Amino acid sequence: MGVTAPKTLDAPVDPPRIFGPAYRTATFGILLVATLIAFEGMSVGVVMPQVSKDLHAETLYGISFSAFLIASLFANVVSGLWSDRRGYTMPFLVGVLLFVAGMGLAGAAVSKEMFIVARAVQGLGAGTTIVALFVMIARVYPAEVRPRVFAGLSAAWVVPAMVGPAIAGFVGDRFGWEWVFYGIIPLVVPALVMLVPALNRKPTEEATPSTGPRARPGLMALAATCAAAGAGALLYGIQEHTIVSAVIGVAGLAALGYGLYRLLPPHALRFGRGLPTTVMMRGLFSAAFFGVNAYIPLALQEVKDFDATTAGIALTTGALGWSTGSYLQSRRDAPPHRRIRLGAFCVMIGVLLTMLSVLPGVTGWVAVPAWIVAGFGMGIGMTTVSVTALKQSPLNEQGANSAALSVTDMLGSALTIGVGGALVNMIGHAPSQIATGFIVISCLMAAIALAATLLSVRTAT
């Protein structure tokens, strides 16, 4: 009997490498933009107490974050529709340019109103960019390497996390908070230069247009408008304490409910098994983590007398934990729902430990190891949610479901940060009162993380 030559299918398969020749340009382009957005995320929170004082607006703290996130929510949907129908290139570029324009406007702000508008423009840019980024990952990279790409996205936060808060605090203390915003703008030039060839790359798979209800531009634009306007009205109702504001808040809740019903996968609001719960889990993670993260610099500066540079260290450690968790999830074979459950549990523990940092007789440095734990949970949980959602999505719905992920992400953050701001304003701005408000906020966010822990099993199909 003759010996047959080995078949091609029997030959060892060399798994794709995200920094290999085939994907190197796309990977560097994606990571550069992620780094740009990361610098903003890690820097702005550190100087917000200074911004609030200089613009004579103590209520600005929560509203400015919410304006960013609500605008992002609207942009998520537009970018998802745009990416599904026309590709991700133009949404990506338009998003980056809007984001940079918002940074310039924020640096030039001389009033509370102007600063809020600037934050909304930044949010439009970030929301558009993030969804296009997710679609790019889904279309350019094969499924088996996507976890590594998302791990790379988290790793792109490491350098900004290590130096961003400290630089922001130093610049804010020495030159003024305006230069924290202006200083990010030049970073877009090398990013766009790197992205030009990456954005011209042909997708590995071509999607056929979706025919479902979430593919109708008019209906989705209306739903996005209702969700964004509803969230804004709801937060206004929470911030103010009048009969009129209460009515506006109730109307906002109704509009938000209608918008989410149209924007999210069927049965998401009932935490249906599989993709619906996976999408909702993104919002629960963001709500629990960022609802506390936004107020750590305020608590440490006002309660423990940290300066802006030192207060930023807690945020730095959280991002480092996030990157570590994201890397480890890409190397583990445990079922996704178990990784999501572990991530939610770590966020809950980290939030509860961080609460101790404002107690009398306890050093504020407790926030450092505590936020490492919370960040580690986010790295495991959020990255697994993103990978799982793309895996559970049909090719022609990757844009819509990426948008849905970002909608729940932004909405979860916006609502809990807005509620936190309302609590701080209601309880008071004296150091002891801020400590009390931070404890209340932490308890509420820990409850949300507990809910995510219990519901994680429903992400399994």
Contact criterion met (CB below 8 Å) for 445 and 376: no
Structure tokens at 69: 């996130």
How far is residue 322's CA from residue 375's CA, in Å, rounded to a whole number?
4
Distance CA 390, CA 43 (A): 30
- CA proximity to 352, closest of 342, 344, 340: 344
pTM recorded for the entire structure: 0.72
Instruction: Please state, in angstroms and as integers, the Cα–Cα distance from residue 322 to each residue in 245, 302, 334, following that order.
Output: 38, 26, 18
- Asked if residues 399 and 83 have their Cβ atoms less than 8 Å apart, the reply is yes
Find out whether 316 and 166 touch, Cβ atoms under 8 Å.
Answer: yes
| H or E element, residue 365 | none
Q: DSSP letter at 211?
A: -
- Using alpha carbons, select from 270, 210, 192 the residue that is nearest to residue 80: 210
Distance of alpha carbon 369 from alpha carbon 390, whole angstroms: 32
**Integer Cα distance of 452 and 313 in angstroms:** 27
Would you mind telling me the total number of residues written for the chain in this entry? 461
Q: Per residue of the chain (461 residues), what is the pLDDT tens digit?
A: 444 444 444 444 455 677 777 677 777 777 878 777 777 766 777 787 788 888 877 666 667 777 887 788 788 778 877 877 777 888 888 998 899 899 999 989 888 889 989 999 998 998 888 888 877 787 777 777 777 777 677 667 666 766 677 778 788 888 888 888 888 888 777 777 776 666 666 555 555 555 555 556 677 778 888 888 888 888 888 877 788 888 998 999 999 999 898 888 889 999 999 999 999 999 999 999 989 988 988 889 889 988 777 777 776 777 778 878 877 876 667 888 999 999 999 999 999 999 999 999 899 899 989 999 999 999 899 889 988 887 888 766 766 787 788 789 878 888 898 889 889 888 988 899 999 999 999 999 999 999 999 999 999 87
Angstrom distances, CA of residue 255 to CA of 223, 227, 228, 247, 250: 9, 6, 9, 12, 9
